[in-house]
Amino acid sequence: MLKNKTILITGGTGSFGTTFARYLLDKASPGEVVILSRDEKKQHDMRLAFDDPRLKFVITDIRDRDQVFNAMRGVDLVFHAAALKQVPSCEFFPLEAVKTNVIGTANVLDAAENFGVERVVVLSTDKAVYPINAMGISKAMMEKTMMAKARSTRSGTVFCGVRYGNVMHSRGSVIPLFVKQMAEGKPLTVTHPDMTRFLLPLPQAVELVLFALQHGRSGEVFVRKSPAATVDLVARGCLELFKSRSEVKIIGIREGEKMHETLLTREEMMNSEEFDEYYRVRGEREMDYDDFYTRGHGTAIPEDGYTSANTEQLDLEGVKRLLLSLSEIQAALKERS
């Protein structure tokens, strides 16, 4: 499915994009991997680090509809990871989140449809489920934009999505913040000790995307089952691994944050297919406009969705083992030894 294909990754210089590009080039034998992003410095660094002629770069913003269409010519597969992801930034600039996460996504989907791309996989987040902040709301609308395109398209393009929780040690996540705070001898800032979060290593995020690529039908969303832990346990695990004397400072829940995250709503659970490691939320491509008013599921809604409070809960040793599986943590420990 990937061999000899021209593959476009939007937001390709981010944590997922660079990891996925490395996987493709090392293991999938693509014809060409196109990295679309707006950061020329990150593209330059990536070009030097990879040093692979199959890797191509396009500097543009997905908000620029014409340039997105230009970049889409000849593309076989699209992995859409470009987004505004920082919760505080989106709270202060919600319209910017809409422009990138909703309108930018529409540009990518329209271009893929126009040029007959085989498959598009869009990447979403647990914050899109029962959203309470601008970033989550915009990502929820991104998902709805994908689903609407899947229902309305007359092309053969398959549009599907994935949704996952916190990717461990991704840019802007709490683990690199803890590592930085320990290195500087500062307290580890914890919002609330009982707050839970899904914990997903980046390679498993790649596996989720590949599973969706292989098994996805138009309009479907896939979720990877993930363990969770309290933020306090993650902080304590970091302190023990790094033998740090830093303290833990409780700063309180910030604007737009939840105590527990949700990957599947109660309503989605009744429309889901369960695999060993994944959930598939079935699409509604066969439903037309009138069906939304006249057709129901006839199934009782379960009491709970799939949340970071009711998934597998890691203890301190489990958190430490998961942390030690991260190459970034291994490198940081080696550097400090």
Two tokens at 188? 């580890």
- Helical pair 231-241 and 174-183, crossing angle rounded to 10 deg: 40
Cα 202 from chain centroid?
10
Two tokens at 311? 């998934």
Q: Of 331, 24, 313, 288, give the one whose Cα is nearest residue 176.
A: 331
Total Cβ atoms within 10 A of residue 66: 10
Q: Of 293, 268, 298, 263, give the one whose Cα is nearest residue 283.
A: 268
Q: Of 237, 229, 178, give the one whose Cα is nearest residue 200.
A: 229
Two tokens at 218? 């138009």
b or e along 287-307 (b: 16 or more beta carbons within 10 Å of the residue's beta carbon)? eeeeeeeeeeeeeeeeeebbb
Cα–Cα distance for residue pair 108/179, rounded to 1 Å: 36
Two tokens at 276? 């060993």
- Fill in the amino acid letter for 231: V
Question: What are the residue numbers of the active site?
Answer: 127
Two tokens at 27? 């293991």
List residues bridging with 131 in a β-sheet: none
Cα–Cα distance for residue pair 310/196, rounded to 1 Å: 10
- Fill in the amino acid letter for 33: V
List residues bridging with 59 in a β-sheet: 37
List residues bridging with 125 in a β-sheet: 164
List residues bridging with 274 in a β-sheet: 279
Rg (CA), the chain: 20
